Amino acid sequence: MPALIVGNWKMNGLGEDIAEIAAMAGSGARGVWIAPPFTLIDRAVIVSAGAVKIGGQDCHANAKGAHTGCVSAAMLADLGAGFVIVGHSERRRDNGETDADVRAKAQAGQAAGLEVILCIGETRAQRDAGQTNAVLTSQLSGSLPDDAEALIIAYEPVWAIGTGLIPTLDDVAAAHAHIRQHLTAHFGPAGHGVRILYGGSVTPANAGELLGVADVGGVLVGGASLTAASLLAIAATAP
């Protein structure tokens, strides 16, 4: 399957930045998805005209209700979003989200008809202590939704996000193999169909080698996704 290049704009982007998404959409590049802040989703859906899939960076686990400031998966779908990211390490860190919370959000996203990108990854201390596989197993056990359909896993070592550091290619391959093993044990044959992305300091300079690693089905990109030039340069490295 062709690689998926997903941009996570985090808390970046004003109206003028919609031009970047328009440029991505107009480029003819395929397999490019962007998660702008909630405030830009409707405009992004319009300018992307279906050429770039637009998604949310988070959703609430409930479809509606008394949750001031929150956005439900159904609301994202209503805007024309096609996917949602759940469990990003910045939300786990800043908002205390647990694996159970992430699982509930993943279920809500799928129920609303969205594709769900579920993020997992170890901290530097956990890697140094040799706990990477145990952490990934624990996060998957606690957060996988019931259904493997419309599910994507993003392996994002926390220490690689926004730092300019990336694991060795062997370490990326080992983590993806471990995740795949868990997915097939958990879902059976359907686990083979779940795409696994790598995320953490992906740039145009390193994307080609990362996308060449076994079972890396694409990349989740933060900082280098903010301009069309940078994200399209990453997309151009896809095999």
The residues that touch ligand PEP, with contacts defined as CB under 6 A, are 8, 10, 156, 161-162, 199-202, 220-224
Q: Is 219 helix (H, G, I), strand (E, B) or coil?
A: strand
Question: Least separation, in Å, of the C-beta of 188 and ligand PEP?
Answer: 29
In the residue annotation, 88 being an active-site residue is answered as: yes
Q: What is the CA radius of gyration of the chain?
A: 17
List 90, 97, 122, 156, catalytic entry: 156
- Name the residue nearer to ligand PEP (CB basis): 162 or 188: 162
CB of 89 to ligand PEP, least distance (A): 8
Distance separating alpha carbons of residues 70 and 11, to the nearest angstrom: 15
Is the CB of 20 or the CB of 74 nearer to ligand PEP? 20
Question: At closest approach, how far in Å is the CB of 227 from ligand PEP?
Answer: 13
Q: Return the structure tokens found at 193.
A: 């169909």
Q: Closer to ligand PEP at the Cβ: 74 or 160? A: 160
146 φ, ψ (degrees, to nearest 5): -65, -30
Q: Which tokens in the block code for residue 86? A: 């759940």
Q: Let me know the angle formed at the C-alpha of 40 by 61 and 57, rounded to the nearest 5 degrees.
A: 35
Residue 151: phi and psi, rounded to 5, are -120, 135
The catalytically annotated residue of 60, 88, 176, 182 is 88
Q: Among 232, 217, 121, 119, which residue's Cα sits nearest to residue 166?
A: 121
Asked if 206 contacts 221 with a C-beta cutoff of 8 angstroms, the reply is no
Q: How far is the CB of 160 from ligand PEP (least distance, A)?
A: 6
User: By C-beta, is 63 or 236 nearer to ligand PEP?
Assistant: 236
Does 156 participate in catalysis according to the annotation?
A: yes
Paired tokens of 214: 């076994």
Residues labelled as active-site residues: 88, 156
